[in-house]
Amino acid sequence: MSTRLVLGCGSLGFRLVERLAERSGRIAVVAGDRSRVETLRTEGIDAREGDPTDPEAARAATEGDTVETVLVAGPGPERNLAAARMAARTFPEAFLLAYAGEGSTGETREALRAVADDVVAPGSAVAEQVLAPAGREGHRVRTLSRLLRGLDGRLAVVMHDNPDPDAIASAVALVGIAEAAGCPADACYSGDIAHQENRALVNLLEYDLVKFDDEPDLEEYAGIALVDHSRPGVNDQLPPDTPIDVVIDHHPPREPVEATFVDLRSDAGATSTLLTDYLRRLNVEPSEPVATGLLYGIRVDTREFSREVSVEDYEAAAFLLPHVDRSTLERVESPSISPETLDTMGRAIRNREIRGSVLTTCVGHLRDRDALAQAADRLLDLDGVTTCLVYGYDDGTIYASARARGAQLDVGETLRDAFGQIGSAGGHADMAGAQVPMGVLGDTEDSEELASIVRDVVTDRFFETLRERPSWEPGPPYDGLDAPVGVHDRG
């Protein structure tokens, strides 16, 4: 049996015990106030008069049970600090929540933070808010906090290559969580932040990001965290055998994920939703830049709450909204479009080919990789199109972005089956991407011939995979804009 142990019982502690008594499981209280102990006993609670800083009294109260949670809830700050230090030594595996006490100083609260999983300042929370991180739902928070506090050095929070708003905001938020736990951290990425909205996000909110080289030097880091992806060497520049300490992602994994701490919740629409959940459970009020980025990440990945959205996404947005800089958010959402992006989208439209309800298009050489996703979003709106694949190539790699609407086809699984063996691919049922090394194909000097070869390789594998889907019917060639199908200006 597991026990929740309460050490000390001031006015807040008494309210906490009353709430805990409404939940299942055993409660044990050690307090020095005889009248408070007798009152609790009349209510059927196992309360004992004793010194809450005494390890023997605490062990006796638990009667040999496993201690799941320790709540230090006396009225005095110095005694609470002594009780918290004792509890950390005596019950190292338990979640330790400490009340700072009336009249506590900043020095006392900092000393409590050094030993407790969470610290509650006077007047900062009501009983239900205090208990939230102490339940089973707070297990992830407890485990992550302990890992971060235990790192002896800096943490590298690594986004996927060419990060999108969800990855950027999630990395910045995790850096803040790590630093609050006493662990210095950097938000790191490789590739380019080319999408005009992504650049606006970073510049307007003044995010401090570290750009990795093609072969990043990891010696200065004591730990590595991955956000918005889950495997080193897949869509990042880390060596594939890099030991990973933390993974937080909302994409369903293709293979088992290996890390000390793993939080994969594919029911959430964005990784930003998961980071917001940590902020809520840690009672951390996000800064305007962090809240603005997280809300934007959720809105982008759920396509304004219309794609794979969950209750958790709405709850996260409601939590973030009061802290958001709305004027900056409007500026992020309405940046000027670059000529390169406009050109890429134009080629995607001109070069489209449609078979049944599936549109594919090759844009040739890429100047702006993020334009692929924008083009895929736009082309999915064509009449009669339910699936689209937009792809191009740059620096020896083919990049692809896919979109789908309706439940007929899972483009994440389709891209993984089509390109996972020759490159990397992943995503969700309605939104996915892939990267495929060109190998010897990249030696072709004729640009038209190269575009033709890439087009044949990508479309052949894509449609071959589609044909293996029992529910998919290819249908006749069709172009929703009445343009001729077959030969197009490839750009």
Would you give per-residue pLDDT tens digits along the chain (491 residues)? 568 899 998 877 787 787 777 666 788 999 998 888 888 888 888 999 999 999 999 999 988 888 888 999 898 999 999 999 999 999 988 888 888 888 888 898 899 988 888 888 776 554 554 555 455 456 678 788 889 988 999 999 999 988 999 999 999 999 999 998 899 999 999 988 877 788 889 999 999 999 997 778 899 999 999 999 999 988 888 999 999 999 999 988 877 889 999 999 988 999 999 999 999 888 788 999 999 999 999 999 888 888 778 899 999 999 999 999 999 998 887 766 678 778 888 999 999 999 988 999 999 988 777 788 888 988 998 988 999 999 999 888 999 999 988 757 888 889 999 998 888 887 777 888 899 998 766 666 677 788 888 888 899 999 999 888 765 565 554 443 333 333 333 33
* pLDDT attached to residue 24: 61
- What angle (nearest 5°) sits at the alpha carbon of residue 380, between those of residues 410 and 427? 35
What's the rounded Cα separation, in Å, for the pair 178 and 214?
25
Helix then strand then coil, % of the chain, to nearest 5: 40, 20, 40
The domain total for the chain is: 3
162 phi, psi to nearest 5 deg: 50, 60
**Residue 314 included in any domain:** yes
Ramachandran area for residue 396 (φ above 0: left; ψ -120 to 50: alpha; else beta): left
63 and 130, same structural domain? yes
178 and 309, same structural domain? yes
**With contact defined as beta carbons under 8 Å apart, do 390 and 382 qualify?**
no
161 and 117, same structural domain? no
Q: In what order do the strands lie in the sheet with 424-427?
A: 353-355, 358-365, 387-394, 397-404, 431-437, 424-427
- Cα 287 vs. chain centroid, distance in angstroms? 17
Of the three residues 134, 167, 185, the one that is the final residue of a domain is: 134
417 and 308, same structural domain? no
- What angle (nearest 5°) sits at the alpha carbon of residue 154, between those of residues 148 and 159? 85
Of the three residues 102, 134, 166, the one that is the final residue of a domain is: 134
* pLDDT attached to residue 482: 38
Residue span of the structural domain in which 115 resides: 2-134
**Residue 258 included in any domain:** yes
158 and 64, same structural domain? no
* pLDDT attached to residue 483: 36
Map tokens 């006015």 to a residue.
11
- Which CATH number characterizes residue 425's domain? 3.10.310.30
- Which CATH number characterizes residue 171's domain? 3.90.1640.10
**Residue 176 included in any domain:** yes
